[in-house]
Amino acid sequence: MAEFAFVFPGQGSQSVGMLDAWGEHPAVRATLEEASAAAGLDVAALIHAGPKEALDLTVNTQMVMLVAGVANYRAWLAEGGAVPSAVAGHSLGEYAALVAAGALTLADAVPLVRFRAQAMQEAVPVGAGAMVAVLGLDGEVVRRCCEQAARDAGECVAAANFNDPKQTVIAGTKAAVELAAQALKAAGAKRTLPLPVSAPFHSALMQPAAERLKEKLATTPVATPTIAVVNNIDVAVETDPARIRDALYRQAFGPVRWVEVVQALRARGCAAVIECGPGKVLSGLVRRIDAEIASTTILDPQSLAAAKELVQ
C-alpha cells in the first residue's frame, strides 16, 4: 500500500446538503449526533436544510466544515480504509486534522471552533477588512508588494494564504488591500479577485481574536496525536500539546503555508493525498503544487471506494 495523507479543507466548500450522499451511514449519523450534542443545536438539520444564509455565517461555517471533514474521515475508517501516515488541514481544516489524529475530540473541537469563529467575526467590523485572491504571481512577489502597500497606506495588508505556486490570497484593511491589488496588477498578476468573506482572516487584524482563542485553548484538552499532523503556521509536526495549542493560536493571525505543507507531506513519503470533502479545492491545489502526487476527494460512498483503490 502506498503512503498517503488526508487533508481537510477550510471555509468556502460548504453547501446545503453536503452530506446527503451518505444517506443514513452509521458513522456519518453518529458524527452529526455527537456534534449536535456538543453545539447545543441540530447540526444535521443545518447541514441538510440550511438555509444557505445560515450555513454561510462564519460562526456556523467553521463548525459545519469541521463536522463534515470528520464525518467523511470516520466513514472512510468504518468502510475499512487504512489509517493515513499523515494529515493536514487548510486553515480551519487543521482542527479536523487534529480530531482525525486524536489530538482533539469532536466534542471539544466543536465549541472551540465556534468560539474561534465568533472571535474572528468580532475582531474587525464587517466591511472594514478584505481578502483578495491573486492569480499568476509568485508568492514572494505578492509578499513584497503587500509589504510596500502596507508602508504606503500605513495600514495592514499581508499575504494570508500561499495556496499554490501562482495563487496567493492577501488580507488586511479594505484600503490597504485595494492598494496592494493595484500594485499586484502592475507587477503582472493575471487577476485579483475579491473574496466574499466576512473578515480578513490570517492577518494581523485577527490578533485580538487570537488572544481570546489562546485563553480558550488553554482550557481545551489536547492529547498527543497518534498520526503526524503537519501544521499551517510552521509546516511542522508537533507532538507536545502545549506546542499544538501555540500553533493554533498563531495560525489565527499568521499565513497558511499550504504549498510548503504539501511539499512536507511529499517529503514524508506520501505519494497520494485524499481530500476529506465536501469539495475538491485542496485536491486541485495539490495537483498544481506537485503533479506527481496522486490526489482525489471523498465526497460519498462511490468516491470513497475510488480513493481506497488509489492507495492500495
Residue 153 CB burial class (10 angstroms; 0-12, 13-18, ≥19): middle
d(CA 89, CA 189): 27
Evaluate whether 12 touches 279 at the Cβ level (below 8 Å).
Answer: yes
DSSP E strands in the chain: the ranges are 4-8, 86-89, 129-135, 157-164, 167-173, 191-194, 228-229, 272-275, 294-297
β-pair partners for 161: 169, 256
Is 303 annotated as catalytic? no
Neighbours of 79 (CB within 10 A): 15
CA distances from 111 to 243, 257, 261 (A): 20, 26, 26
Nearest of 130, 104, 118, 94 to residue 10 by alpha carbon: 94
Which candidate in 13, 25, 90, 91 is catalytic?
91
β-pair partners for 173: 129
Neighbours of 51 (CB within 10 A): 9
Helices (H) and strands (E) counted in the chain, each on its own, are 13, 9
d(CA 219, CA 212): 12
Which candidate in 25, 202, 295, 303 is catalytic?
202
Is 91 annotated as catalytic? yes
Nearest of 223, 209, 221 to residue 251 by alpha carbon: 209
β-pair partners for 26: none
Cell of 42: 441540530
Sheet containing 4-8: order of strands: 228-229, 86-89, 4-8, 272-275, 294-297
Active site residues: 91, 202
